Amino acid sequence: EHQRIWWKEAVFYQVYPASFKDSNGDGWGDIPGLVSKIDYISSLGVDVVWLSPMFESPQVDMGYDISDYEAVYAPYGTVEDVEKLAQACHDRGMKLILDLVINHTSDQHAWFKESRSSKTNPKRDWYFWRPARYDEQGNRLPPTNYRSYFAGGTWTWDETTKEYYLHLYAKEQPDLNWENEECRKAVYNSAIHFWLKKGIDGFRIDTVNKYSKHIDFPQAPITDPKTFIQPAAQFWCNGPRIHEFIKEMNTKVLSHYQTYDGQPLVTVGELSLTPEPAGVLPYISAKQKELDMIFQFDITHLGQGNGFSDKYDFTPWTLPEMKRIVEKWQTFIDGTDGWTTVFNENHDNGRSISRFADDSLAWREVCAKMLAIKLMTQTGTVFLYQGQEIGMINAPKEWPIEEYKDVEALNYWNEAVRLAENGADLTRKERIRHGLQIMARDHARLPFQWDATENAGFTTGSPWMRTHDLYREINAESQIDDPNSVLSFYKKMIRLRREHKDVLVYGSFRLLEPENLSTFAFRKHYQDKTAFVALNFTASPQPVPTGIAGSGKTLLASSYEKTDPEMLQPYEGRVYIDY
């Protein structure tokens, strides 16, 4: 029996500020634009708005490179605008959480500028500085051979003091040294206290398991002899002091605050590269007092190439693989004091219809509804990403890669182009193009499609990123009054999830027909209540799995208006309850 608490039942809605709504025609979304759409968000029936980084930033990684935690990036607005946003949320009974990005800062943050200025600067130790190594020929080598997230190595040479600094992401995102207590205190003050005092209700915590590293920085074993840089997550993720650091942040800082309505704050941490439930549980077990919840990323790895270094080398996946992942993270909290999360999309992934189903004209709406059923019937806290509720899809395949803006996509692409030019790997380039068309982070970052007017009603100026060619076909305005729209379906599923929260939010999960290649079926159970879910992941009719339909069961929702008790239609999703 899971203890009941508000954030377990809440539905979160993620807003990516650059792409949500522009109010002043500069082509960038902004906080006043978001406030102008707050009634739209509230009308969905969601409980919490999660705002991706709107802090001062050079935008090398779309705001995940912060140069001042206590200021807002001017095109987005001001600190007062964020306070108004919090008020607008609270007035409608919603909470507001911000992104907490404190594994690294921007290289333009004052702390890093000081740190890089001299070896004796008091902030030198706030980042990781290491001397060069030299090979037999006297060539300068970085301290280690680690590969970074965005292609290339994790160490960048700095001429000023002739040392290397560490960055797990872009070279403009130097990693903070959490071993240094003063550094931790500054982070808590600037990034956490500052915003909690302004009345926000919690945080989504970026890269939370990377604060502690193996600071002796051993060389990574050579798994790919073709290149110098190697996967090395074992040395910079889930390090020896990680639980100590997160506990400190929680007990010394976060736990001293409450939400606007006097409840405990909420935290959800990003826990990548931790595929074992036994490794995840210590972070979220209530008695550990670390985090409320985490995002686990097995599901987003479906289709990604093997290993950390080949993310965009698409590999086909099967439905049984997806089921095993869902089952693993649905059931790992059984009998524990931990909690789980569910999501189909975020700002770091392709759109779910395009990635996991079929985004062609014939099927995209039923697929959107089928995926909504899959999400809204799982146990855990649900996270929606802007545009998911109107069935937004990936950028058209015809777009050249040059339309993409993401530092990760472009680095991977340029690396593939370079390797092809060197004659090393000609087919890799085309494979990476294909992978990016399906999985690039850019797809989720296209401007929100509000209506059929120019630029989808997102901006009156020219958008920072190209608007989808299909915005006249897929937009919010055309769906609001249509009872059969994807949008109306999402609203209905959010309402049904609340009405049947015992079994849908808190129920225990049991996978049915694990080896069925076409249909994903499961059962949810809570005391005398049961729900049955069947999802057809193919474009052909499939039999309803045995035990799903039948006497005593009520059809709660289907992605089709008319259903056949024996057969699922193409991409049909269905949920029954039995009380």
* Interacting residues toward ligand TEU by CB under 6 A: 61, 64, 101, 149, 169, 206-207, 270, 272, 297, 347-348, 408, 441
9 is catalytic: no
Nearer to ligand TEU, 231 or 570 (CB): 231
Q: Are 330 and 379 contacting, i.e. CB atoms less than 8 angstroms apart?
A: yes
Nearer to ligand TEU, 176 or 503 (CB): 176
- The DSSP symbol for 423 reads T
* DSSP, residue by residue, 426-480: HHHHHHHHHHHHHH-GGGGGSPP---SSGGGGT-SS--SSPPPTTTTTS-SHHHH
Encode 314-340: b = buried (16+ Cβ within 10 Å), e = exposed.
beeeebeebbebbebbbbbbeeeebbb
The distance of closest approach from Cβ of residue 169 to ligand TEU in the complex, given in angstroms and rounded to an integer, is: 5
The CA-atom distances, in angstroms, between 390 and each of 341, 385, 562 are: 21, 10, 21
The distance of closest approach from Cβ of residue 72 to ligand TEU in the complex, given in angstroms and rounded to an integer, is: 18
Three-state helix/strand/coil letters over 255-309? HHCECCCCCECEEEEECCCCCCHHHHHHHHCHHHCCCCEEECCHHHHCCCCCCHH
> Which residue is catalytic, options 206, 290, 345, 572?
206
> Which residue is catalytic, options 175, 270, 292, 348?
270
Nearer to ligand TEU, 305 or 320 (CB): 305
The distance of closest approach from Cβ of residue 536 to ligand TEU in the complex, given in angstroms and rounded to an integer, is: 29
The distance of closest approach from Cβ of residue 66 to ligand TEU in the complex, given in angstroms and rounded to an integer, is: 9
Nearer to ligand TEU, 151 or 521 (CB): 151
Query: Which residue number has the CB closest to ligand TEU?
Result: 64
The distance of closest approach from Cβ of residue 39 to ligand TEU in the complex, given in angstroms and rounded to an integer, is: 28
Shortest CA distance to 293 belongs to which of 269, 311, 272?
Answer: 269
The distance of closest approach from Cβ of residue 366 to ligand TEU in the complex, given in angstroms and rounded to an integer, is: 28
CA pair distance 286, 333, nearest whole angstrom: 11
Nearer to ligand TEU, 207 or 352 (CB): 207
270 is catalytic: yes
Nearer to ligand TEU, 146 or 537 (CB): 146
CA pair distance 27, 447, nearest whole angstrom: 10
Q: Which residues are the active-site residues?
A: 206, 270
